[in-house]
Structure 1
Amino acid sequence: MSKMHKEQRVPFVVANWKINKLQADVMDFLSQVNDKVPDQKVVETGIAAQDLFLADMVRTTAGTPIHVVAENVHWEDGGAYTGETSPKALKDIGATYVLIGHFERRKFFNETDSTVNLKVTAALRNGLRPIIDVDEDMSTYAQFMDAEPSVAQVAAALAGVSVDQIRNVTIAYEPTWAIGSGEAASADQAQKAAHLIRQTLAKLYSPVIAEQVRVLYGGSVTPDNAREIMSQNDIDGVLVGTAALDPKKFLQLIEIARDPTVPEFDIDHI
């Protein structure tokens, strides 16, 4: 995949707060970043938080480039699904993106390839943009690099997703061993995984479509390792957990995404 195509994709930095922060923490964080986030034509920015904060976040970030991201969604628009969140309701309150298929959802809440696909199609049906998490072991494909295999979780998640819809999908690669471990994949490992994902998209759709879909890396991302990771040709941004709980580090990551080749910057001029 060429550098030229990478430059045509807008970088994307997404904070995943999981179930951290209380209401006051959320408002304090937003007060520190709202006026420092660049235009989304330069770098897209999203913050994923617990459902109970989302409506207030939408109101507080109104007029800023920040996208409010849900951490989960149900596959039905409404009905008797106590404790779940309707995609129609998320769209109604102003959420833009939704995380789907995160490793923690698979591990602790028994999500499967099938339910991930149902959620992806439900999100798209309601005008939400899915960020599909992939935690598959890419090393199993290493010997088949020239054969362009299909990364199974990507193929399963996108079943029934049309050419028009795939343009609103982002794929995030998060190796399970890196999540919360403090040890990120090397830039080379992340690039190889992103390349395999893009090969899968080319096989499922076309090489042209594969160059248009953004692929992110997640798993122990920090300002210290993000620069090298985001310099890779097939990586368009990061999905960040712990580091994104700190507004200063979050802004640093956004600035790195803006231009990974710039070694230093003044955070007051983001």
Structure 2
Amino acid sequence: MRIPIIAGNWKMNMTIKEGIEFIGKIKPSVKGTDVEVLICAPYVMLKDLVEAAKGSNVKIGAENMHYEEKGAFTGEISPLMLKEIDVDYVILGHSERRQYYNETDETVNKKLVKALEFKISPIVCVGETLDQREGDLTKDVCKVQIEGAFNNINQDDVEKIVIAYEPIWAIGTGKTATSEEANEVIMYIRNVIKGLYDEETSEKVRIQYGGSVKPSNVEEIMNESDIDGALVGGASLKADSFVELVNF
């Protein structure tokens, strides 16, 4: 049985003080839930959040990382650095990284390989633009991104990877794919994994939906057959809202 995962992606928001207070507020309210609870935050506060979350079921993740362990990469953070402070997860290939910072399927693959090597659980993001959706290219885009990210990934490692389907046109816009539309694409993504590996492996992979998920629509989304969680932006920035998402 796949354990649902509700992950907050704070992006470039929150101060260290605000982040610590947030973790303190949500810990009692998410204790004992059957859902995996995750907050992905800016680099500067990760160590503090890991400390604040100790003794709870709240896990902490990074929003990105480099694929090299060290070197002349000014401004980057390595998997070695994340591992040293006990970060649990890392988001890879978010559409904003692809759009603004020239992230490619090749670099996502290299980061994925390195995250697995360091035993940091990766969340691999895929999704289409509005033009691609209107051109009936959603499945083609997702297939190319999945095949690129999973290039030369061993079958035994696949179930350690979370996939987040995030249609770019729905991120931060207030627009949301219907739960049926999201589930259809996620079923297709699962089928792509089946083609790359086998059905047993594809059934073990957790696939989230992301794109203007909020307390008012999370239950409907999570009731779909193949959606295993949510990667949430804006609605994860307030403790009460995030608790509602976890306790859908």
Q: TM tier, shorter chain?
A: over 0.9
**Are 1:167 and 2:159 matched, yes or no?**
yes
**Are 1:140 and 2:137 matched, yes or no?**
yes
Q: Give, in whole Å, the separation in 1 of the partners of 2:121 and 2:31.
A: 20
**2:196 aligned to 197, 204, 221, which one?**
204
Q: Give, in whole Å, the separation in 2 of the partners of 1:23 and 1:235.
A: 32
Give runs of aligned pairs for residues 1-270 of structure 1, distance below 5 A.
8-39=1-32, 42-136=34-128, 137=132, 139-140=136-137, 151-256=143-248
* Residue deviations 1:85-114 (CA, integer Å, cap 9, x gap): 010110110001000000000010010111
* Residue deviations 1:48-77 (CA, integer Å, cap 9, x gap): 100000001111101111110100000001
Q: Which runs of structure 1 show a deviation greater than 6 angstroms over 4 or more consecutive aligned residues? A: none
Give the drift of 1:16: 0.3
**Cα RMSD (Å):** 1.6
* Residue deviations 1:181-239 (CA, integer Å, cap 9, x gap): 01111111100110011000100111011010000000001111111111110100100
Q: Give, in whole Å, the separation in 2 of the partners of 1:74 and 1:153.
A: 19
Q: Give, in whole Å, the separation in 1 of the partners of 2:179 and 2:40.
A: 24
Q: Give, in whole Å, the separation in 1 of the partners of 2:92 and 2:16.
A: 24
Q: Give, in whole Å, the separation in 2 of the partners of 1:72 and 1:14.
A: 14
**Contact in 2 for aligned 1:150/1:203 (Cα 8 Å):** no
Q: Give, in whole Å, the separation in 1 of the partners of 2:127 and 2:179.
A: 16
Aligned residues: 243
SS at match of 2:231: strand
List gaps (5 residues or longer) in structure 2: none
Q: Give, in whole Å, the separation in 2 of the partners of 1:52 and 1:195.
A: 36
Residue identity over aligned pairs, in percent, reads: 39
SS at match of 1:215: strand
List gaps (5 residues or longer) in structure 1: 1-7, 257-270
Q: Give, in whole Å, the separation in 1 of the partners of 2:30 and 2:152.
A: 35
Amino acid at match of 1:119: K
Give the drift of 1:150: 7.5
Q: Structure 2 length normalisation: TM-score?
A: 0.94
Q: Give, in whole Å, the separation in 2 of the partners of 1:222 and 1:21.
A: 19
* Residue deviations 1:120-168 (CA, integer Å, cap 9, x gap): 11111111111000013564266x9xxxx97110111011111111111
**Contact in 1 for aligned 2:126/2:142 (Cα 8 Å):** no
